Structure 1
Amino acid sequence: MPVHRSRALFAVLATVMSLATASVARASDNSVPLLSALFQDHAVLQRDRPIPVWGHAAAGQTVTVSLGGGQARTQADARGRWQARLPALHAGGPYTLTAKTADGSIQTVHDVLVGDVWLCSGQSNMELPVKRTLNWPAEVSGANDDAIRMLIVGKQASVTPRADFGTPVAWQKPTPEATAEFSATCYYFARELRKRIDVPMGLIDDAWGGAQIQAWMSAAALRTAGGYDIALDLLDQYAHDPVAANAGWGRQWETWWRKRPQARPGDEPWRPQLATAADWHQAPPGLGAWSTSNVPALTGFTGMVWFRSTVTLSAAQAARGATLAMGLVDEVDETWVNGRAVGSAYLDAAREYRLPPGLLHAGVNTIVVNVLNTYGDGGMLGPASARALHFDDGSSAPLDGPWMYRVVANPLGQPPLAPWLSAAGLTTLHNGMVAPLGNYAVRGTIWYQGASNTGDAGAYAGLLRAYRRQMRAQFGNDMPLLIVQLANYGPAPTQPAESGWAQLREAQRQVAADDARSALAVTIDIGNAYDIHPANKQELGRRLARVARQVVYGEHVPSPSGPVPLSVRHAGDAVVVRFGQLENGLVAHGADDAIGFELCGADAGSCRYARATIHGDTVILHAPDAASATRVRYGWADNPVVTLFDGNGLPAGPFQLPIPSPGASHE
């Protein structure tokens, strides 16, 4: 399944934030502001609850913070970190936030509003800016609501939780320039919500294209979800000994390769003694992107390719400490030297892998690279001059010998991915982009993610529930979660089939349905068959605001997210599905009958399209052998053809439900 491309470097070094918009006067070390970077000019703080505020000061220093007539006092700990809790305020402002210490240090932040703060997180569809949406020039030219404030968290992956942001952050007013670059989903949601909820809105754009949900989860949440202990232990090791961790991860990867259904005994391409077989071919000089290789087997190829080459070293070279540099690889590599795994990275991070002492030897040394590409173009991008062994004495040995390649033609499924791989890793984005938010008070989270997990959709419901628990532990146990269901994408189906996208949508539906503080925004009708990033984010914003009005603000909305199935039952030779949350009844668009329903048996491949007629709040399904059906599905495809709506124009979302035996019903 496609994994979206993100173009960002993996980074693990901390940088010190400076505040460009807050006025700061320090009597001592003025390189570190008193207040965390979240608290600066134009910020929005959460209304109607105590307001946590924190920052840095000299160890043991007393810090006093004040806002809107309220005040709190605290003391910095031995590391210089402090946190205070200001009294709750109703919506309003602008206010001035002040922090000062007993030694005369002071920081003042101006134009602070109190309202509702929303954390907007996920992958590329959440990251997609306003300037890539419908009619965007007109949208940004009208962006002038001073009560909306926006903050973008810069991309930062980390193998351990960070206390501070890796890149500077700033609250911005919605000028045309700032709005054009901001998350469209987040902005259009707030703009629509402000029509009904007249309070300031603070928006935090915290997204990374191509990210799997596991990257946004803490280590504790993943251990609770289960199945990640070995990888998380290796991640812990990677933080202090990446060479050993890479070798350990390589053993995990090799085990996966040997267990594939297509595995052949002895087929271990990373082994130096592997003879060049008939399925290895000479690669184009310089390697590069597959699309420009002029090799028919690689042009347009999506999947996995092995590459191998050799380098001959003298005894003196082999005895030196060395780093293997491979340049850019798209999108995931697993790399071996003389049969030992030495590294793995994701997307456009330039590969530089430290080699353990004693791995190199005099004579011929073998370099093997497995390249996995799941979306768009792939390959060892280089440039060719970037591929070399760099020795600790400053000399180098270029890897300019001939390279061989081998295409892995059979479908493999996705291999395990190293836990430190930025957007494809475990905990990496939580550590770098969520942990620095601390316990900043927020009203709720909007979650727009899932495309990168469609290859293992069966695990998604458990992960999403664990993510929800984690976010509530950090930001408050009553925090609402608004989930954006995956939009339709790809070719339309011609017959019933299994679909990882549909299975993941069902997980999203179930997770939203089992919690009173969660809601689902259905998007099955506003996607784009040819673009995984649909441009109609305005309608998505309206739908998110609609579900928020009911779940978050307690407003009665007759049909917050469109028709939802309430029950299913056999009725003679038919199956009857009853719907609720209707506004102005059920309607079928473009036909007398509703399209998109299937009746299924227990086995995969047993589904058949059903004729669906609308009667009031029910849909009656007819198909051959309907009386023996055990499941009903609707909208079950990557890009299903669906026509069932309510009279208000909201679609019924995809679902799968069991059909109870006669005499029972599913409620």
Structure 2
Amino acid sequence: LRAKMARARVADDGCWRLELEPLAASAEPAELRISAEPAAVNGSVTIQNVLVGEVWVCSGQSNMEWILRDTENAVVEIAGADYPEIRRFKVPHLSEFEEQDDCPGSWAVCSPETAASFTAVGYYFAKGIRRSKDIPVGLISSNWGGTPVESWSSLPALRAHADWADFEKRIAAVQETLADPENGDDVRESAAFAQTQEAWDVLADSEQAFARVGFDDSAWDTMLVPQLWEKVGLEVDGVVWFRTTIELPADWAGEDAVLNLGPVDDYDNTFWNGTRIGGVGPDTANSWQVPRQYTIAGELIKPGRNLLAVRVFNVMGAGGICGTPEGLALCRASGGAGLNLAGDWRYQVHLRRPLGEPLNMGWLPGGLYNAMIHPLISYGIRGVIWYQGESNADRALQYQTLFADMIRDWRSAWGQGDFPFYFVQLANFNEPQTEPGSGNFAELREAQTMALALPETGMAVIVDIGEAADIHPQNKRDVGERLAVIARNQIYGEPELVYSGPLYESQQAVNGRLQLKFTHAGTGITTAEIHSEGKYTVREPGKIAPSGFALGKPDGSWVWAQARIVGLDTIELWHDEVPAPSDVRYGWHDNPVCNVYNREGLPAVPFRTR
């Protein structure tokens, strides 16, 4: 690789490892050639288009998995995403009882054709790094929605935890279910269904003909489309095929057209005259909400009768082509009046989900570490970015140790010292706060903050950009960029860059009031004017009073504090009902009141003193 060579001897078990000398970062594509001596006999392998740069593991649950296509400003961002220096390797969802040495997957070069499926947080993180450092960035995306931290922890780390007995019982329960002959058929059928779901876009031999023009569907039943099929009594989770014919005028022939199919619950493969024109699958978060719009190439548009076939894969719950009748239409790409496609379509059930519930292997303690992290530990990395915690929100006390133990354990496994580990604190979620109180997310955020005691860690606070009604905030740009600011300050040569919002440090009683000192105040603490959910403007100090602070009363209740900024790093609190204040909370709720920032625009870290 780039004229650098190294040799290694293959061990008796067939494994080998070698390390090249460090190379300068370069976006110039190179070849990596591996050969077994003598090459003439044993051959060689050449890997093309190899860059030299920084590799980051992007891990956690659904908010790290969330793809760029399902975020704010996605259309514009994807159209301009021509960044060949950014690459992504996607690890599929896998869970195992024992450590694995390999996993499937492949690299994708960031382009307008591929960026839609990139982890959005990772994508914006990579862009943020490249804003100050002209180096290639590789993203290893290893994440699984709805999974707890113990699934990402190694079994040795879990065995050392105080709650190992509970984790061991959960593992044993899964093993018992798999081993029980009475459950065998259900488990095997559920596993087969899960594999089919993973291969959502692969047609079985028995259904290849359903997309073809000449297939005789006269024996199929009919259904009014669009609607959820449960409304006509079809209680099916699985695969249902729909077919309809469309008569087109002669002047449509040869001209590109646009099919607006509307949302499909959950996945679809869509065919026009036997050719696949698009589809949405499990890589798309909330796929059941995504309106389908597919371009049909002009050469597929025929005068007269045309066939539209849609393969709908419903995982669970309601299913079908489920938009509005007005939204189901075919239009010319050049514009003009379209054709409404709502009406009676023919349909046939092809695959039914088995009655047995599939095992949730994503919750297997140690399972994701074994299958999705351990295969990566021989890979040289620069660090990890992590977004997870929602699935542990009801166990914040336990998370304090589980999360820190996981970070230590990953560093030990990689053997690269205390590599940077930057994580995202949970966003605001659920009903907005109106009175002083608490919440599971508040306590989980505290547990995350405690992990900053570990070396080479950093936390992106996003308690200001979440959404009350959606645990998956659409603003992933600020998330990735706030993580990137940490990296730029800590490791990419910008020590002057402010990378954190104000962080509570200490307090002092002064004349019946309480003065709070903060680190990371930057050029000064200030407040923001909140316009709407996730939208704000940082103002000059003194323009808007700090809000979101609560003081503890002697009877154990809490009241909103009056507050003012009295220095670059100091806020003063008081309340007439609390003559000697000492207990403070700030931003302490699932979806808290909070408006304190530094002038650099980063929000203060929620905290409590009791």
Tell me the CA shift for residue 245 of structure 1: 12
Structure 1 contact 121–445 (Cα < 8 Å) conserved: yes
Distance in 1 (alpha carbons) for counterparts of 2:458 and 2:115: 26
Is the aligned partner of 1:213 residue 2:153? no
Alignment length (residue pairs): 438
User: Structure 1 residues 196 and 241 mapped into 2: Cα distance closer, same or farther (>3 Å)?
Assistant: same
Distance in 2 (alpha carbons) for counterparts of 1:122 and 1:75: 35
Name which of 148, 154, 172 aligns with 2:86: 148
Name which of 429, 432, 435 aligns with 2:374: 435
Structure 1 contact 558–581 (Cα < 8 Å) conserved: no
Is the aligned partner of 1:203 residue 2:139? yes
Name which of 584, 601, 611 aligns with 2:562: 611
Distance in 2 (alpha carbons) for counterparts of 1:139 and 1:68: 37
Residue type of the partner of 1:134? E
Post-superposition CA distance 1:272-314 (Å, at most 9, x none): xxxxxxxxxxxxxxxxxxx989xxxxxxxxxxxxxxxxxxxxx
Post-superposition CA distance 1:151-207 (Å, at most 9, x none): 111111222222221x4x111111112110010000011011101111111111111
Tell me the CA shift for residue 426 of structure 1: 0.6
Name which of 146, 162, 166 aligns with 1:226: 162
SS in 2 for 1:194: helix
Name which of 596, 603, 610 aligns with 1:651: 603
Aligned to 2:398: 459
Is the aligned partner of 1:122 residue 2:57? no
Distance in 2 (alpha carbons) for counterparts of 1:561 and 1:153: 30
Name which of 574, 577, 602 aligns with 1:622: 574
User: Structure 1 residues 231 and 643 mapped into 2: Cα distance closer, same or farther (>3 Å)?
Assistant: closer
Distance in 2 (alpha carbons) for counterparts of 1:161 and 1:495: 48
Distance in 2 (alpha carbons) for counterparts of 1:455 and 1:564: 24
Residue type of the partner of 1:631? D
Tell me the CA shift for residue 73 of structure 1: 1.7
Tell me the CA shift for residue 116 of structure 1: 0.7
Structure 1 contact 238–245 (Cα < 8 Å) conserved: no
Is the aligned partner of 1:90 residue 2:57? no
Structure 2 contact 84–110 (Cα < 8 Å) conserved: yes
Aligned to 1:274: none
Is the aligned partner of 1:641 residue 2:593? yes
User: Structure 1 residues 196 and 593 mapped into 2: Cα distance closer, same or farther (>3 Å)?
Assistant: same
Distance in 2 (alpha carbons) for counterparts of 1:608 and 1:222: 40
Structure 2 contact 513–580 (Cα < 8 Å) conserved: no
Aligned to 1:178: 114
Tell me the CA shift for residue 76 of structure 1: 3.3
Is the aligned partner of 1:81 residue 2:19? no
Structure 1 contact 72–86 (Cα < 8 Å) conserved: no
Distance in 2 (alpha carbons) for counterparts of 1:175 and 1:505: 35
Name which of 490, 502, 509 aligns with 2:449: 509
Structure 1 contact 496–608 (Cα < 8 Å) conserved: yes
Distance in 1 (alpha carbons) for counterparts of 2:230 and 2:395: 31
SS in 2 for 1:446: strand
TM-score, L = length of structure 2: 0.66
Post-superposition CA distance 1:566-604 (Å, at most 9, x none): 21122232111112222331222236311100112698x
Post-superposition CA distance 1:36-70 (Å, at most 9, x none): xxxxxxxxxxxxxxxxxxxxxxxxxxxxxx66322
Distance in 1 (alpha carbons) for counterparts of 2:82 and 2:470: 30
SS in 1 for 2:507: strand
User: Structure 1 residues 82 and 609 mapped into 2: Cα distance closer, same or farther (>3 Å)?
Assistant: same
User: Structure 1 residues 613 and 108 mapped into 2: Cα distance closer, same or farther (>3 Å)?
Assistant: same
Post-superposition CA distance 1:118-152 (Å, at most 9, x none): 00001111011111111111111111122111111
Aligned to 1:71: 6
Tell me the CA shift for residue 534 of structure 1: 1.1
Aligned to 2:487: 548
- Stretches of structure 1 that go unaligned for 5 or more consecutive residues are 1-65, 248-290, 294-376, 390-417, 659-667
Structure 1 contact 238–246 (Cα < 8 Å) conserved: no
- Superposition map of 1:166-315 within 5 A: 167=104, 169-229=105-165, 231-232=167-168, 235=171, 242-243=178-179
Q: CA RMSD in A?
A: 3.3
Structure 1 contact 601–630 (Cα < 8 Å) conserved: no
Residue type of the partner of 1:75? V
User: Structure 1 residues 292 and 573 mapped into 2: Cα distance closer, same or farther (>3 Å)?
Assistant: farther
Aligned to 1:493: 433
Post-superposition CA distance 1:400-438 (Å, at most 9, x none): xxxxxxxxxxxxxxxxxx9x7322221111112111113
Residue type of the partner of 1:107? V
TM-score, L = length of structure 1: 0.61
Tell me the CA shift for residue 648 of structure 1: 2.1
Residue type of the partner of 1:541? G
User: Structure 1 residues 237 and 655 mapped into 2: Cα distance closer, same or farther (>3 Å)?
Assistant: closer
User: Structure 1 residues 642 and 160 mapped into 2: Cα distance closer, same or farther (>3 Å)?
Assistant: same
User: Structure 1 residues 175 and 636 mapped into 2: Cα distance closer, same or farther (>3 Å)?
Assistant: same
The more displaced of 645-654 and 620-629 is 620-629
Aligned to 2:460: 521
User: Structure 1 residues 241 and 637 mapped into 2: Cα distance closer, same or farther (>3 Å)?
Assistant: closer
Tell me the CA shift for residue 474 of structure 1: 2.2
Aligned to 1:468: 407
Distance in 2 (alpha carbons) for counterparts of 1:441 and 1:385: 44
Structure 1 contact 594–643 (Cα < 8 Å) conserved: yes
Name which of 36, 49, 61 aligns with 1:101: 36
SS in 1 for 2:163: coil
Post-superposition CA distance 1:358-410 (Å, at most 9, x none): xxxxxxxxxxxxxxxxxxx979xx99986679xxxxxxxxxxxxxxxxxxxxx
Distance in 2 (alpha carbons) for counterparts of 1:208 and 1:641: 30
Residue type of the partner of 2:16? W
Distance in 2 (alpha carbons) for counterparts of 1:112 and 1:229: 46
